[in-house]
Structure 1
């Protein structure tokens, strides 16, 4: 399968939907964490259980309609469990870091996703890549490093951010990249088991989200302890998160924007995940991620502006902008068309 963009009208339409939803998802990701800045794990828990309720409801309807078959439902669950664990770690790490990082840094750091994805697809799917593609990924990584290094200089917008939050956001991308490659392997293996018919996307989303909700719940004591929340304090933390989410009057902190912003993020995030996985099914995980990354410059620009509940915005340094340009150059170089002869040797 080619890693390049396809001229197929169906894939072009799916790609356009992914780009639009990617921008909305990145902006709302930061906005949703404004009222719940002190309760990122509550939002992670709420998001995962929301996924489970919606996805399994749709899966049941599609099963009753005959779109989803018994053979699809009977696919081995080991990969789904691994997907759920990686997505749980990615979600928790990303929300912890996202609550502490300035908005423009989030889409930049998240682009390490492509580098991790290339590494994991080579290791797990046995794919090989051309020198041009490797150079493209190197530029993506260089752009991330340049942008972060410039922002960490004294007086810049990352100068007061602890390194652990930067590292957690990059680690979050690694977990999510691993999960996306495993999802692609489910489609590939499923096509073999189902005699050429690929599994329905809601089979993959539903079981992956089910295991994700389980692991978020099981990992909550450990993850919350990393933020200094003791196990005995966890019930009070979750109760405080619920009060902040509902924006009740007796909440001890300002939760302006809740519950509208978190709910809007969850809805858009679900739509984005469905659109992205549909593109993975139609093409490949790398094509889907490259399409989503085309939303990066738009997201960075919007997140640097004064927004509702983030009135001050962020001033982007020239070095940060240079890092973003290098990153985009890497994405363009990676995604340049190549001859069919070369394509047959890669991916």
Structure 2
């Protein structure tokens, strides 16, 4: 009788230690009794229909979540957290059971939520500027400083509920400081370029955001992308450009604005891409510092928003000048903006119909969009979160063709909208397509 030996493990393989062949004392073999028709019978009533004897070892280890992106490593949970999703390993190949499917469903749901909130964010921003059409700078600062209050309040409640731990709060604050600086500089450069560029050209230039994310994640995270993923990102970018640019004078307005302001807007998206990649680095670093745990979203949002508000205050003279508001007149401007926002009657609030409901709806949805985007970044990658945000652009373009309140006559659908949307969806499908790996198949026991 020939003996065969395979080792099956449950959980990610940590050490690749060669296993010695079993000895006769460790591998009992039932002696054959009266072979009949190629059936071996034992005195114990066990019937073996094969001449191959199998010995199976099973070891259970914890399996952590798969970090976002390609080529990411598995991170196991910390001590005392119990085993994670089960997986098995045949020889030197590990295959997860259930966890990959669960992760895919979780990412798909997060993408859908992000897209819906992204569409709502874009539409409500346009609606919020109807009553505050003369005070967009006030709306931006209200959102910035309002987030600090809300995020820290939620983090305080989650800390007392035991969700936010002392270890999370004691993590280094230097990365949050850099996040605040990047977001403040991105806002400053974006405002400067946005004051010169047309509205149709900005979404086109924003597609460089995806390119920056791929480049920065390759450099700083060591991530490698397959050919289909790069092709998918390229088609997504082309689809958005066709959707937004068709039927508009964006190309002419870009030529009129000059190369300097276009480059300034591109730099703004570079800073935003660096911000998202840095947040992904924070999540990966937290896995090590918290021994398999993960930092809470509101810790990242709270400290990042606090430092952003700090740098916004330092850049306030420069930012107010970009909006055409002399710094000496800034207090009166903010006072008038607050009166229009509250819409409590009087001469200052005339023409502010829709406030404060529309601005408050925008702030709430924008906050939810930022949280959903950060959650998607946490469980996937910066590129996936960028693709989800990008997918909301053509949907928003279509929503603006509907008769929305306070916006008056609906805009017409661009001529190349359908073609651009088809190319964009094809790009998303190509990016999400994962070619099957024949080498990952489980060998048959008869082999």
User: Which TM-score tier does this pair reach, normalised by the shorter chain?
Assistant: 0.7 to 0.9
Is 1:268 matched up with 2:268? no
Structure 2, gaps ≥5 residues long? 1-66, 71-99, 440-447
8 Å Cα contact 1:157/1:314 also seen in 2: no
Aligned to 1:16: 112
TM-score (norm 2): 0.66
SS at the partner of 1:304? Answer: coil
- Relative to structure 1, is the Cα distance of residues 229 and 90 closer, same or farther in structure 2, using a 3 angstrom cutoff? same
- Relative to structure 1, is the Cα distance of residues 267 and 94 closer, same or farther in structure 2, using a 3 angstrom cutoff? farther
Matches within 5 A, 1:104-123: 110-123=206-219
1:293-343, Cα deviation, whole Å (9 max, x unpaired): 33333222002333222112322332455444434433333232244699x
Determine which of 331, 344, 347 is the counterpart of 2:428. 331
- Relative to structure 1, is the Cα distance of residues 10 and 131 closer, same or farther in structure 2, using a 3 angstrom cutoff? closer
**Aligned Cα RMSD in Å?**
3.4
SS at the partner of 1:255? Answer: coil
TM-score (norm 1): 0.83
Shift of 1:168: 6.6
Aligned to 2:183: 87
8 Å Cα contact 1:37/1:99 also seen in 2: no
Question: For the residues of structure 2 that align with 1:47 and 1:132, how far apart are their CA atoms?
Answer: 38
Identify the structure with the greater helix proportion: 1
1:97-140, Cα deviation, whole Å (9 max, x unpaired): 499865x8776654443222212212332222223222233333
Aligned to 1:345: none
SS at the partner of 2:131? Answer: coil
Question: For the residues of structure 2 that align with 1:335 and 1:183, how far apart are their CA atoms?
Answer: 23
8 Å Cα contact 1:144/1:324 also seen in 2: yes
* Higher RCO (Cα < 8 Å, 6 or more apart): 1
Aligned to 2:283: 187
8 Å Cα contact 1:108/1:324 also seen in 2: no
Shift of 1:213: 1.4
Is 1:313 matched up with 2:313? no
Structure 1, gaps ≥5 residues long? 343-347
Aligned to 2:318: 222
Determine which of 61, 66, 70 is the counterpart of 2:162. 66
Determine which of 339, 364, 378 is the counterpart of 1:281. 378
Shift of 1:56: 0.5
- Relative to structure 1, is the Cα distance of residues 257 and 159 closer, same or farther in structure 2, using a 3 angstrom cutoff? farther
Question: For the residues of structure 1 that align with 2:185 and 2:269, how far apart are their CA atoms?
Answer: 10
Question: For the residues of structure 2 that align with 1:76 and 1:40, how far apart are their CA atoms?
Answer: 35
Is 1:51 matched up with 2:147? yes
- Relative to structure 1, is the Cα distance of residues 70 and 276 closer, same or farther in structure 2, using a 3 angstrom cutoff? same
Corresponding residue pairs, total: 338
Shift of 1:250: 1.4
Identify the structure with the greater strand proportion: 2
Structure 1 or 2, whichever has the larger Rg, is: 2
